[in-house]
Amino acid sequence: MSTAVNSQNSKRAAVRKALDRHKIYITAQSFSGGAYSARVLVDGEAYWVDEFRLSQLQQGLSPAELELTPAIDD
Closest CA to 71 of 34, 28, 23: 28
Residue 7 counted as domain residue: no
The total number of structural domains in the chain stands at 1
Closest CA to 45 of 61, 60, 64: 64
Residue 10 counted as domain residue: no
Give residue-wise pLDDT tens across range 27-66.
999 999 999 999 999 988 999 999 999 999 988 889 999 9
3-class secondary structure, 39: strand
Residue 39 counted as domain residue: yes
In this prediction, residue 20 carries a pLDDT of 67
Q: Which residue has the higher pLDDT, 36 or 3?
A: 36
Residue 65 counted as domain residue: yes
3-class secondary structure, 7: helix
3-class secondary structure, 33: coil
In this prediction, residue 28 carries a pLDDT of 95
Return the CA Rg of the chain.
17
- Domain holding 58, by residue range, is 22-74
* Number of C-beta neighbours around residue 1 at 10 A: 5
Residue 8 counted as domain residue: no
